[in-house]
């Protein structure tokens, strides 16, 4: 991690803090102003704030297994630190993706440890499908993993191009 500039460290730390604090503040706002199950239309038939509790993983899978989620989260955090430390200066998307994913992990792990469930509130209906309710931490994880995947695809593309030219 020696090859990370002060400017990038500041960017990573600020990003992490904005995600974790923003996630927790929005969850506090929703949980203190809405009753569980209450829904408020933002854009009718498309976007709602719907306050819910998720005791499982994505789509409520493995509901009620908080110990498993805590152990998996801690293992994932260790892996993320290790993987981040092995990245190179050129792997900007991967580094930023790990920061976003880690921030999302911390946001949801905080809820699991403090409440025993994750507070969700962002609710979309897309082409008639009521997408599972999620939160800012969930978005950070999805965007972070997406950035890592893009970097992997991009690296393969560049490496492939170099091989063709050689």
Strand-pair partners of 155: none
Torsion angles phi and psi, residue 44, rounded to 5 = -50, 140
Overall size of the chain counted in residues: 166
Active site residue 156: no
Catalytically annotated residue among 23, 120, 123, 156: 120
CB environment 46-82: b (16+ within 10 A), e (fewer): eebbbbbbbbbeeeeeeeeebeebeeebeeeeeebee
Active site residue 138: yes
Catalytically annotated residue among 23, 111, 123, 138: 138
Active site residues: 120, 138
């Amino acid at each position: 991690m020696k090859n990370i500039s002060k400017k990038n460290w500041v960017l990573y730390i600020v990003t992490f803090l904005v995600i974790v604090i923003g996630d927790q503040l929005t969850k506090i706002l929703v949980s203190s102003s809405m009753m569980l199950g209450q829904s408020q239309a933002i854009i009718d038939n498309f976007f709602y704030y719907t306050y819910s509790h998720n005791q499982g993983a994505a789509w409520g899978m493995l509901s009620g297994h908080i110990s498993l989620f805590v152990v998996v989260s801690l293992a994932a955090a260790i892996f993320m630190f290790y993987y981040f430390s092995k990245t190179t200066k050129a792997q900007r998307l991967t580094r930023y993706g790990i920061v976003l994913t880690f921030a999302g992990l911390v946001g949801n792990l905080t809820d699991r440890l403090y409440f025993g469930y994750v507070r969700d509130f962002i609710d979309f209906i897309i082409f008639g499908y009521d997408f599972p309710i999620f939160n800012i931490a969930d978005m950070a994880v999805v965007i972070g993993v997406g950035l890592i995947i893009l970097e992997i695809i991009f690296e393969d593309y560049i490496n492939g191009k170099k091989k063709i030219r050689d």
